[in-house]
Every structure is written in C-alpha cells, then in structure tokens.
Amino acid sequence: MKLTTLALLTTLTAPLAFANDTTVTTLTPETSVAIDSVATESVGFPESFKPQGDAVLGLQSLESQEIAIQEEHWSGLPFLGKKAREMGYQLPIPLGFNVFYNKQEVGYVAQDDFNVKLNGLNVIVPKDDVTITGEDESVQLKVDAWILPFWNVYGLVGHTKGNKKIRVNPENVSNPALSLLPPFTLPIEYTANNIGIGTVLAGQVEVISGMHPFIFTGVMAFTNSWTTTTDSTIQTYIGSFRAGQRYAVPGGQLAVLLGYNYQLINQNITGNYAFPDLGRNGLDVEYDLDLKSEETGNMSVSMVYDFGPKQEWNMFLEYGFLNWNQVIFSIGRRF
C-alpha cells in the first residue's frame, strides 16, 4: 500500500504535454538499441521516464502518463516542497483564501441552574427546566497556507447573526410565590464578530492498485466571538475527519467525501427582557446563563469542485445531519 501526502482538493496536477512535431525519424534496430541503452542507463532521469510497456524514446505510453508539472512557488512554501517534488509527490498551490457561508440549527443545554431575577427577586430555575434552541448564520473569510506538504494552517475573521429561544418552566423555581407563573420563552437575538485559527492535515492512500485513491483530511479549529447586541461571548471548538475519492469531471476535479464533525459551543448570555402581559403586572426578567451545545458529534456529506486553468478555483458544499442541521458553502482561490 503506497501512501502519498496530498493537499486535499488544492492539488495542481497535469499530464506531461508535448508540442506537435512533424519530423518523422525512422528507427533501425541498431539506433533503437542505442537509444534504449542511453535512456535506461542515464542517471539524470527518474524511473517514470524509462521505457515501460509501449513507451517510445523512454517516455511512458499515453495510457500510463501521469506526470505532474510543477514549479517552486514564489513564496518558498511549502517547506520540504522541493524534496517532495523530487520524490514524485504532487503539491498544492500553497496560498489561498475562501469565503464561507454557514447556517446551522443547534440544540443547547444549560450548564448550571438558571440564575434569574423575576420582578427584582432572585430565583434559581433548575437547569432541567430550561430548554434552549438556536439558529446561526455566518460569513467567514479564511486565509490559509500549506507550511509542509501535508500540513496547512489558517486564520479567519467573520460575522454572525443568530438567535436563541430559551424556554423556562418556573414550576420548580426556588421562590414558591413565583412557581405559579406560566412557562415563558426568552427570545434572544444577537450579532457577533469573531476571529479564529485552525490547522489541517491531509493526504491520500492507494488501497488497491488501479483504483482511485482515498483522500482524507483532519481539521482542528477554534473561534472566539463577541456579540454586539447582548453581553455575550461564544467559544467554538471544531474537529472533523473527512474521507472520500476524487474524480476527473468536465472543467476540473470533483471530490465526494463522508465526514464526522465534532463541534462544542460554549456561550454565556446576560441581559434582560420584559413581558408586559405576563402575570398581573407584567414580568421583568434579568438573566445570566451559561449554555453549551447539547450534542457534539455529527455526520456530513461534502463535495469539492476544483476548476480553472491550474485548478486554482474551488467550491465547497457540505450538509451536516444526524444531531443538528448544517449547511456550508464556500468559494475560494489559490495563488
């Protein structure tokens, strides 16, 4: 089994191309033997240039040609790239950016009992009597670089618009006088700005000779967000593993991947809200709540389309399912 490091979906590959030549040379047995001797004994050519099968003049037949033409990048990245190219590995264009759109619907749980003030009275609502759902939409700009042939690092900045619906059942609050209140829902809307960092490990493995190799990526990332409309901070921890295969399609390359995603969201929310029609004289609620995502594991199906003269453009689409619904779309360019 051969393992080949690969920058997933940003790899620049191209078959060796030749200009048309109208000169025809007739080979005699003597000249053919001489040429074959030079081609096979020269130390300046790698094995892939030596005669194999129906190869002529030391070049592989068209059916078996798959020789990547690559030059060193102006940035000097990735480190060890020259060595990797000499060994026959295909490397990505090392620098790039992507613009992402992300939408998700996530369930949350209270980390501790809910501390609230109801009409100025401090009460505690058991965390099991608090139900939280949320929806977020965000736009992110990611800038990345391949530091090593198999290792990528990136930074991102973004903006999020979201809402939380916190349903409170006061039946078991610590103040019996307020336990007769009907259940109520705190509608919280916010916007947030964030920064984040992440890293990617990527590669491919040829399981069966002649079969499309399996490509894989592992991702770890962290983002910190500051809301602009509520007193709230959000920390998001992300990990994912994706594996699949890549195929040549009109205009470029298409990869189809199945993935497992880990996501842990921690958020602290403080604020106040008034219910003028709740109770005899209305209800003023001051709240301070620490919450986290209810589920941390999810499945996903992804597609990546690389296109352009050097496949420097790419589009990414992913649908997450099982424990929460999530849609991610991005478009980016390598340079």
Chain-centre distance for alpha carbon 172: 43
Host H or E run for residue 124: strand 121-125
Q: What is the largest CA-CA distance in the chain?
A: 109
Give the number of other Cβ atoms within 10 Å of residue 225's Cβ. 25
What distance in Å separates the CA atoms of residue 78 and residue 145, rounded to the nearest whole number?
A: 8
- pLDDT tens-digit readout, 171-225: 998 888 888 889 999 999 999 999 999 999 998 888 888 888 899 999 999 999 9
> What does pLDDT average to over the chain?
81
* Geometric angle at alpha carbon 198, from 192 and 199, rounded to 5°: 165
Chain-centre distance for alpha carbon 55: 41
Do 106 and 136 touch, CB atoms closer than 8 A? yes
Q: Please give the pLDDT value at position 13.
A: 32
> Alpha-carbon torsion 165, 170, 174, 175, what sign?
positive
Q: Indicate whether 50 pLDDT > 90.
A: no
What distance in Å separates the CA atoms of residue 256 and residue 304, rounded to the nearest whole number?
A: 7
What does the pLDDT average to over 224-241?
A: 90
Q: Indicate whether 68 pLDDT > 50.
A: no
Which domains are delineated in the chain?
Answer: 17-66 (no CATH), 95-334 (2.40.128)
Q: Please give the pLDDT value at position 90.
A: 72
